[in-house]
C-alpha cells in the first residue's frame, strides 16, 4: 500500500542536521545501515520499503573524507532508485567540489560538473542545496536544483545577536561582493570590500580595503570558510584600518586544516557558521565559533517540495 509520503534518509555519520530536520518535520529517519567492508568499500541497506515513496536524502559533506561521503551518497541514491522510489531528492547543503567549477587551467577538471553528472547518473531527481559557491552550478544539472539561501537566517541572527546599527558589512573578496551587498541592503547597512590577490588555492597573498570602516563593527560575510586564512588576514586589515571589532558570518564552515588555530590566533572576535557542515567537535576547541541553525529552512523546503508548493518564499524569509 503506497502512501507516497516523505521518507528521510541520512547516513550514520554526521546526522546532526538530519535529526534536526526530522524533528522539525515530526518524522522519523528511515532506518538504514551503511557499512564498510574490510577493503573500505561501502555496503548499504535500507530498513524498510521505499517503493513509490518520496525520498529525501540528507547528506552533510564537510572536510576530511569527502570522497568517501560522495560515494556513500551515490550508493544511497542508487539503492533507493533500484528499490523503486518515486522521487529521490538529495539535500546537499554544502555542495562538494563546488570550487572546481571552471576550467581555470589547461587540462584542469570541472569536478563540480562531474559531481552533478554522477548524482544524476546515480538516479537523483532533485537537488536542494544552499548558498552554492557559484549559482551557475545549477546549470550543470539536468534535474531541478533548488539553491536555498542562508541569508534570511543570517539576517535574523545579526538582528538578534549583534548590535548591528554600528556595523558595516564586508565582503572578503570581489566574488562575494554581490552576496555581501544583498545582506547590507537587507540590514540597511554600509558595505565595504576587500580585494585580495590569491597566489594559489588555500593561500592568500595581499589585501586591499575599499571603503571606510573606522569605529565600526565589521561583519565579514562569505559563503565558505575553509582554512580561515582569508578571514584572519581580512580581520587584520580591517583592524589596521580602524575597525572596532571584526565578526565573520559564513555559510559553510568547512574549517579544515589548521582553521581552528587560525581562528584562535586571529583578531576575529567571533566566527559564525551555519550547521550545513558538521563541526560539533570543533565548537569545543574554539570558543569563538557560533552556529546558526538552518534546519528549519531545509525542513520547510522539504515540506513545500513534497506538497508541490513554491519554495521562493524561503529565499527572502526564514521560518522560525
Query: By CB under 8 A, how many residues form the interface with other proteins?
Result: 79
Identify which of residues 22 and 263 has a Cβ nearer to other proteins in the complex.
22
> Which listed range, 98-106, 166-174, 211-219, 265-273, lies at the site for other proteins (CB under 8 A)?
98-106
Least Å distance between CB 107 and other proteins? Answer: 4
Identify which of residues 120 and 138 has a Cβ nearer to other proteins in the complex.
120
The cell numbers describing 149, all together, are: 539561501
Nearest to 214 by CA among 234, 246, 244: 244
Instruction: Return the residue of 56, 95, 97, 141 that touches other proteins, per CB under 8 A.
Output: 97
> Which listed range, 79-87, 181-189, 240-248, 303-311, lies at the site for other proteins (CB under 8 A)?
79-87
Instruction: Return the residue of 17, 56, 62, 232 that touches other proteins, per CB under 8 A.
Output: 62
Least Å distance between CB 49 and other proteins? Answer: 6
Residue 41 makes contact with other proteins by CB under 8 A: yes
Residue 50 makes contact with other proteins by CB under 8 A: yes
Instruction: Return the residue of 65, 174, 210, 285 that touches other proteins, per CB under 8 A.
Output: 65
Dihedral pair phi/psi, residue 220, rounded to 5°: -80, 130
Nearest to 124 by CA among 78, 70, 60, 82: 78
Instruction: Return the residue of 17, 22, 169, 189 that touches other proteins, per CB under 8 A.
Output: 22
The residues in 136-175 that bind other proteins, with binding defined as CB under 8 A, are none
Least Å distance between CB 189 and other proteins? Answer: 30
The residues in 188-227 that bind other proteins, with binding defined as CB under 8 A, are 201-202, 226-227
> Which listed range, 37-45, 133-141, 146-154, 161-169, lies at the site for other proteins (CB under 8 A)?
37-45
Least Å distance between CB 202 and other proteins? Answer: 5
Identify which of residues 113 and 216 has a Cβ nearer to other proteins in the complex.
113
Identify which of residues 33 and 309 has a Cβ nearer to other proteins in the complex.
33
Identify which of residues 27 and 239 has a Cβ nearer to other proteins in the complex.
27
Instruction: Return the residue of 60, 63, 129, 295 that touches other proteins, per CB under 8 A.
Output: 63
Least Å distance between CB 162 and other proteins? Answer: 27
Least Å distance between CB 64 and other proteins? Answer: 5
Q: Which residue carries 575553509 as its cell?
A: 226
The cell numbers describing 103, all together, are: 576550467
The residues in 248-287 that bind other proteins, with binding defined as CB under 8 A, are 254, 256-257, 281
Nearest to 194 by CA among 167, 215, 176: 176
Strand partners, 246: 218
Residue 43 makes contact with other proteins by CB under 8 A: yes
For residues 52 and 84, the answer to whether their CB atoms sit within 8 Å is yes
Residue 83 makes contact with other proteins by CB under 8 A: yes
Amino acid at each position: 500500500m503506497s502512501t507516497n509520503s516523505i521518507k528521510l534518509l541520512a547516513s550514520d555519520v554526521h546526522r546532526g542536521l538530519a535529526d534536526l530536520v526530522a524533528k522539525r518535520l515530526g518524522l522519523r529517519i528511515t532506518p538504514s545501515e551503511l557499512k564498510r567492508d574490510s577493503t573500505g568499500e561501502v555496503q548499504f541497506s535500507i530498513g524498510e520499503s521505499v517503493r513509490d515513496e518520496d525520498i529525501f536524502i540528507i547528506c552533510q559533506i564537510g572536510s576530511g573524507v569527502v570522497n568517501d561521503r560522495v560515494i556513500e551518497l551515490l550508493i544511497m541514491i542508487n539503492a533507493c532508485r533500484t528499490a523503486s522510489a518515486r522521487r529521490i531528492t538529495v539535500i546537499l547543503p554544502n555542495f562538494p567540489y563546488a570550487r572546481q567549477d571552471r576550467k581555470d587551467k589547461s587540462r584542469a577538471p570541472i569536478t563540480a560538473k562531474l559531481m552533478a553528472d554522477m548524482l544524476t547518473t546515480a538516479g537523483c531527481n532533485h537537488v536542494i542545496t544552499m548558498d552554492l559557491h557559484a549559482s551557475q552550478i545549477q546549470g550543470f544539472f539536468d534535474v531541478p536544483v533548488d539553491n536555498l539561501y542562508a541569508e534570511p537566517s543570517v539576517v535574523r541572527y545579526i538582528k538578534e545577536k549583534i548590535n548591528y546599527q554600528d556595523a558595516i558589512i564586508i565582503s572578503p573578496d570581489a566574488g562575494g561582493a554581490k552576496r555581501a551587498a544583498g545582506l547590507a541592503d537587507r540590514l540597511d547597512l554600509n558595505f565595504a570590500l576587500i580585494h585580495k590577490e590569491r597566489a594559489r588555492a588555500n593561500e592568500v597573498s595581499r589585501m586591499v580595503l575599499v571603503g571606510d570602516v573606522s569605529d565600526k563593527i565589521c561583519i565579514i560575510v562569505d559563503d565558505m570558510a575553509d582554512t580561515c586564512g582569508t578571514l584572519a588576514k581580512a580581520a587584520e586589515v580591517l583592524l589596521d584600518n580602524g575597525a572596532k571589532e571584526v565578526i565573520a558570518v559564513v555559510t559553510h564552515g568547512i574549517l579544515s586544516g589548521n582553521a581552528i588555530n587560525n581562528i584562535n590566533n586571529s583578531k576575529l572576535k567571533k566566527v559564525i557558521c551555519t550547521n550545513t557542515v558538521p563541526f560539533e567537535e570543533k565548537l569545543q576547541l574554539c570558543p569563538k565559533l557560533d552556529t546558526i541553525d538552518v534546519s528549519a529552512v531545509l525542513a520547510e523546503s522539504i515540506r513545500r517540495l513534497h506538497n508541490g508548493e513554491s519554495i521562493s518564499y524561503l529565499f527572502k524569509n526564514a521560518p522560525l
